[in-house]
Amino acid sequence: MALRPPGQAVSRVRRPWAALLLALLVLVPFPATATPRGIGSWVGAWGTSPTTVPASDTTSFEDQTLRQVVHLSVGGSTLRVRLSNEFGTEPLVVGEARVARRSGTGSAIEPRTDRRLTFGGRASVTVAAGTPLLSDPVVLPVAADSDLVVSIYLPQRTAGRTVHAFPYQDGWVAAGNVTSSADITPTGALGKWHFLTGVSVAGRGEAVVALGDSITDGAETTRNTNRRWPDQLARRFQQDRGLRHLGVVNQGISGNRLLHDPNPPAGTPAEGFAAHFGQAALRRFDRDVLAQPGVGHVVVLLGVNDLGQAGSIAPPSEKVTAEDVIGGHRQLIARAHAQGVRIYGGTILPFKGDTFGFYSPENEAARQQVNQWIRTSGEYDGVIDFDRAMRDPADAERLRPAYDSGDHLHPNDAGMAAMAEAVPLRLFR
């Protein structure tokens, strides 16, 4: 390769093809799906894990609008929405979808914030069975600890097979395409989140994913108040100037197990609800944790259902030992570390006297063994000792009465706040 002698000027003659290329770059616009200029990355602001429904659930929608509310953990000026037909058996036709900031506490939106969602530049789209769908970026400033309304119009008969069963948040269904209406006249209530699994915002932060069961999902908390422990942890982040860049994504599923998918014994009532428990955490980890936008940390709180469900809402053959549960945790650790994600272990809460029949001296011994391993093995990047924060000083095998929802397994609102306070913020600095 020839070198330019010192002091020789660089030729300023432009080749014709170079000038043509420059002209094309100026004249041809970026596609509608291109990330807007200035966006460095995406951060999960809200999320939920999808499941299928029991065979007995025949819910369907036709020429109807679903208006659903989600609560954002972190804010931004640009967002995108993730829809899902992952458990559908037929294509999902979305006639129109829109987002807006919520007005008040009902189904009303702030009209000036109403934005149409597009998908590859199209307002109407068909989602193949078994697949998710990510919207194009839309400019809409949103604040942390605020509500976002997502309205989805379904023009064709659509089976409601992809859901999150226990949102602890009201939603509504209305006739026709009223996605852009400032308020709607509901024809029914939505007891689940349907076809909606994520919202991310543009930013340079990180997402903290809470992977768990009903305790993470928010069971027994006050409806429509966002008092799940991940919500309250997100508020702690926002109160700390150095942690406001962190989003929290709740990937808890009520009834979820670490090691097994739902498997209700034939002829038992569990056949009518166990499908809502979702795929085992080992199966869903890549989708629900590693695929989250901006994921940098994951908090794991799993194991109580593995210990307690066998013999009641799962077959006795699925009974597990402490060593089995520890082996499952080790797999999560290995898979997180392989992707450069820090992972923290939460100790299993006490459940003596629970109304679900989970407690036995044998299961308690296994819980203690798993918790001891979480605390002392050093395999997790950090430990969150939920057990210590929540147990009754008078009986360490029980929930503290002030934190007990009444079923002796799930914390109440005060208990959820105590769980959020038990998370050491130094883990995320």
Name the phi and psi angles at 194, rounded to 5.
-115, 125
Confidence of residue 40 (pLDDT cuts 50, 70, 90): low
Residue tagged 């000036």 (tokens)? 112
Could you give the 3-state DSSP secondary structure of residue 190?
strand
Residue 7: pLDDT over 50: no
pLDDT in tens, 287-340: 999 999 999 999 999 999 999 999 999 999 999 999 999 999 999 999 999 999
Q: What are phi and psi of 264, to 5 degrees?
A: -65, 135
Q: What proportion of the chain, given as a percentage, has pLDDT over 90? A: 90
Residue 32 confidence (pLDDT): 33
Continuous segment of H or E residues that includes residue 330: helix 322-338
Is residue 403 classed exposed, middle or buried when 0-12, 13-18 and 19+ CB atoms within 10 A define those classes? buried
**pLDDT (tens digit per residue) in 196-228:** 999 999 999 999 999 999 999 999 999 999 999
> How many residues in total does the chain contain?
429
pTM of the full structure: 0.90
Where does the pLDDT of residue 65 fall: very low under 50, low under 70, confident under 90, or very high at 90 and above? very high
* Ramachandran bin of 130, using left for φ above 0, alpha for ψ from -120 to 50, beta for the remaining angles: left
Provide the CATH topology of domain 205-429.
Rossmann fold (3.40.50)
Q: What is the pLDDT of residue 2?
A: 36
Place of tokens 């989003």: 247
Per-domain residue ranges for the chain?
Answer: 59-199, 205-429
pLDDT of residue 24: 33
| Half-sphere exposure for 77 (CA within 13 Å, toward CB) | 8
Question: In terms of pLDDT, which residue wins out, 372 or 3?
Answer: 372
Mean pLDDT computed over every residue of the chain: 92
Helix (H, G, I), strand (E, B) or coil at 233: helix
Mean pLDDT of 236-246: 98
pLDDT at 39 (0 to 100): 57
- pLDDT for the residue 15: 37
Residue 3 has pLDDT above 50, yes or no: no
- Mean of pLDDT values over 21-50: 58
pLDDT at 171: 98
Q: 145-188: per-residue pLDDT in tens?
A: 999 999 999 999 999 999 999 999 999 999 999 999 999 999 99
- pLDDT category, 36, cuts 50, 70, 90? low
H/E stretch holding 373: helix 361-376
Q: Is the pLDDT of residue 257 over 90?
A: yes
